[in-house]
Copies of this chain bind each other. A is one copy, B any other.
């Protein structure tokens, strides 16, 4: 047996990605498997390899789906008032990580085998997140693009660290909202005064 041809290759890829996306949510990165996804779609493992070449590429496609939905979410719910943007993005990052822990952490748990480079089409999906934050941060650094890029990455990385350690229970924090308060502290430090970061780049 073989050759069902019930779907085009493109349709089948979409079905696989959706099934993979669901399995990531249900089982997490460590419980994710090509065989499991294949079973979920009613096909054989070989089909996954036929469609994507290798497991890395498949996982990248699943993670790309996460990044697309996440980005969409961030953009569509962003407030219009510029002065609220930094606070919004920072808290929104933590909220997303909390609400969709498995699919979010898969983004960072996945490693290319043999340290192969990430394909060119994938990297921008991660990087374009910076553009949002850069824009949000811009008014706080006197509209200096270089300072904005630099502060945006610092804040992104810091919020990421807070989210990671907090959700992994590695911060010894007591009570709900502790991580949220840390983010508030970070915002206060980074963007608390008005235009504290003019000259950020010249120190």
Contacts and interface: CB of A to CB of B under 8 A. Distances in A.
Interface stretch (A9-17, A42-50, A83-91, A185-193): A185-193
Interface residues of A, number: 38
A127 B159 CA distance: 20
Interface in A1-52: 28, 30
B162 A157 contact: yes
A75 interface: no
Contacts of A173: 153
Interface in A89-124: 108-109, 111, 118, 123
A164 B162 contact: no
Given A111-B30, A127-B172, A130-B172, A157 B153 contact: no
Contacts of A158: 154, 157-158, 161-162, 186
Nearest to A153: B171
A168 interface: yes
A82 interface: no
